[in-house]
């Protein structure tokens, strides 16, 4: 299993905090859990993750499925990220592959949220389906989450982006921040579950792009593999074929942008060949200017 060294995580944190401090955080009345802690809604018990002392026996008896009730503070907020770890996210033609950029995006959300006292959790799309990692406060929780995202084995899995979004929406009902980190190459109809989630929560879509996905140079006979399906096909990459691919790729990205715009979901594009910290900072400043005018 790949383990991100402690000093690398610290450098990543310093890079984010130093350049993004105050740009991505929201404002709320309280920062830390206090005496006003109360029970939240029931959810399905996660073995090894949940405390059995928080079992909701009435719901468990009624459904015949173990349920627990979350304890949350009056002013405590939670941020939940859905991280796409399907095969297309393991692609990269620059020094920073798409998975590493997804880790950086998650770190930017996590470090800024925990510095405000919020808890951060994640749903990970992987070969085994959808894995839920409970919301935890502080740097230790973020470090553990980043290490898991970096080390998760990427294989074709049984779950689509639409199904993962629906699971996140059903599983986490308390209002808060929802961040979807994906390349949005999934062919399922993810717009409907995203619409439902964004109607209740503050939602951000982070699109991860590698430049080779947008433009192909003519290069003779090449072998191309669809990372999502595993299909392999030989293609004579003539200028005409490359141009057709480039136009189709641009159309797909434009469709994603238009769908997110129609849903009213803020759209942050991060490229593996660009300064991702600067792109996040520009995005955050632009959103603040928009907010100040409304």
Instruction: Quote the crossing angle between the two packed helices 239-263 and 191-200, to the nearest 10°.
Output: 30
What residues contact residue 174 under an 8 Å CB cut-off, 6+ apart? Answer: 40, 41, 70, 72, 78
Contact between 268 and 205 under an 8 Å Cβ cutoff? The reply is yes
Beta-bridge mates of residue 236: 221
CA angle centred on 74, ends 146 and 40, rounded to 5°:
75
Residue 247 is predicted with a pLDDT of 94
What residues contact residue 245 under an 8 Å CB cut-off, 6+ apart? Answer: 216
Residue 54 is predicted with a pLDDT of 79
Which token pair is 282? 């520009």
Same domain, 100 and 137: yes
Residue written as token pair 């085994």: 128
Closest CA to 9 of 117, 181, 178, 145: 145
Same domain, 199 and 276: yes
Residue 225 lies in a domain: no
Residue 234 lies in a domain: no
Residue 158 is predicted with a pLDDT of 75
Residue 291 is predicted with a pLDDT of 54
Residue 116 is predicted with a pLDDT of 73
Residue 207, domain CATH: 3.40.50.410
Q: pLDDT by residue (tens digit) across 78-105?
A: 899 999 998 889 888 888 999 999 999 9
Closest CA to 103 of 71, 138, 139, 143: 143
Same domain, 85 and 143: yes
Residues 114, 5, 155, 225: is their CA dihedral positive or negative? positive
Same domain, 195 and 52: no
Residue 252 lies in a domain: no
Residue 126 lies in a domain: yes
Same domain, 111 and 149: yes
The Cα 213–Cα 223 span in angstroms is 15
Same domain, 134 and 109: yes
The Cα 71–Cα 40 span in angstroms is 6
Same domain, 118 and 68: no
Residue 255 lies in a domain: no
DSSP-derived 3-state class of residue 188: coil
Same domain, 12 and 138: yes
Residue 258 lies in a domain: no
Q: How many CB atoms lie within 10 A of CB 223?
A: 8
Same domain, 155 and 68: no
Q: How many CB atoms lie within 10 A of CB 230?
A: 10
DSSP H helical ranges for the chain: 6-20, 57-63, 98-115, 138-151, 161-171, 191-200, 239-263, 276-293
Same domain, 51 and 155: no
Contact between 171 and 124 under an 8 Å Cβ cutoff? The reply is no
Q: How many domains does the chain have?
A: 2
Residues 226, 232, 233, 237: is their CA dihedral positive or negative? positive
Residue 66 lies in a domain: yes
Which residues of the chain carry a pLDDT beneath 50?
A: 1-2, 23-39, 73-75, 292, 294
The parent domain of residue 172 ranges over 6-27+77-216+266-286
Residue written as token pair 């074709």: 156
Same domain, 15 and 150: yes
Residue 236 is predicted with a pLDDT of 81
Same domain, 23 and 45: no
Residue 181 lies in a domain: yes
Residue 271 is predicted with a pLDDT of 96
The Cα 79–Cα 99 span in angstroms is 20
Residue 26 is predicted with a pLDDT of 46
């Amino acid at each position: 299993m790949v383990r991100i060294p402690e000093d690398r995580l610290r450098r990543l944190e310093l890079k984010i905090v130093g350049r993004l401090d105050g740009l991505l955080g929201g404002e709320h009345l309280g920062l830390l859990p206090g005496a006003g802690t109360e029970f939240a809604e029931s959810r399905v018990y996660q073995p090894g993750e949940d405390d059995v002392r928080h079992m909701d026996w009435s719901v468990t008896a009624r459904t015949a499925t173990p349920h627990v009730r979350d304890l949350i503070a009056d002013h405590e907020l939670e941020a939940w990220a859905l991280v796409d770890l399907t095969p297309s996210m393991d692609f990269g033609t620059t020094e920073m592959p798409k998975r590493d950029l997804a880790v950086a995006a998650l770190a930017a959300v996590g470090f800024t949220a925990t510095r405000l006292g919020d808890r951060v959790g994640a749903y990970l799309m992987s070969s085994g389906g959808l894995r839920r990692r409970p919301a935890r406060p502080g740097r230790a929780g973020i470090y553990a989450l980043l290490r898991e995202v970096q080390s998760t084995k990427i294989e074709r899995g049984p779950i689509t982006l639409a199904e993962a979004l629906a699971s996140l929406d059903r599983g986490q009902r308390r209002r808060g921040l929802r961040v979807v980190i994906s390349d949005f190459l999934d062919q399922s109809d993810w717009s409907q579950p995203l619409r439902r989630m964004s109607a209740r929560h503050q939602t951000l879509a982070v699109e991860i792009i590698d430049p080779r996905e947008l433009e192909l140079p003519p290069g003779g006979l090449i072998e191309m593999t669809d990372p999502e399906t595993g299909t392999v096909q030989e293609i004579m990459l003539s200028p005409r074929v490359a141009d057709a691919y480039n136009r189709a790729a641009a159309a797909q990205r434009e469709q994603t942008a238009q769908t997110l715009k129609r849903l009213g979901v803020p759209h942050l594009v991060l490229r593996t060949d660009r300064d991702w910290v600067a792109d996040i900072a520009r995005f955050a400043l632009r959103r603040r200017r928009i907010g100040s005018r409304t």
